Amino acid sequence: MRKQLDILIATPFNIIRSNGELSIMLMRVYSTLYLGGKSPNFCESCQRKYHEEIVKTGIMTNKLYEEIKTRTCKPKRCGIVYHSLLNDHINFDLLTDARAIELINKGILKENDFETMPIVEVQAEKVIKNNKKK
């Protein structure tokens, strides 16, 4: 994925649009990183916007995607949920282990929000908290 991303960032849109392989690569990368595998629009103006978005935030989004692929937690919910204590939204599809641990430690998410918890890190945090209480 990273090699394809680097190729798309280094190539101007006019060349991508005229080359069939690069155009398909643009659609696949954008679909994977930004649409969760759903089908993107194929019109030229949409493809131009996709390329601009990949150039601006593609590397950062790819890092987040790689973290999500290696996460150990599995949330019960899907999609975006607004949480009033945070005054912000939680996207369960993009929830990384580090973010899940942070929200669990703040008391915003509970164990029943997960099918599988981020086991190692959460248990280490609980041991530290229990030691401080004693």
What average pLDDT score do residues 119-134 get? Answer: 54
Question: Residues in the chain, how many?
Answer: 134
Rounded-to-integer distance, Cα 126 and Cα 63, Å: 28
- Same domain membership, residue 63 and residue 18: yes
Q: List, in order, residues 6 or more apart from 7 with CB less than 8 Å away.
A: 22, 25
What's the CA gap between 52 and 15, in Å, rounded? 14
Neighbours of 49 (CB within 10 A): 15
Residues 81 and 57 in one domain: no
**9-68: pLDDT as tens digits:** 999 999 999 999 999 999 999 988 888 778 899 999 999 999 999 999 999 989 888 888
The number of domains in the chain is 2
> How confident is the model over 118-127, as a mean pLDDT?
55
Residue corresponding to tokens 């080359």: 19
Q: Which of 69, 85, 119 is the last residue of a domain?
A: 69
- Do 88 and 121 belong together in one domain? yes
Same domain, 124 and 94: yes
Are residues 28 and 86 located together in one domain of the fold? no
- Are 58 and 20 members of one domain? yes
Estimate the crossing angle of helix 2-10 against helix 20-34, to 10 degrees.
120
Range of the domain at 88: 74-133
Domain boundary among 15, 49, 69: 69
Whole-model pTM? 0.66
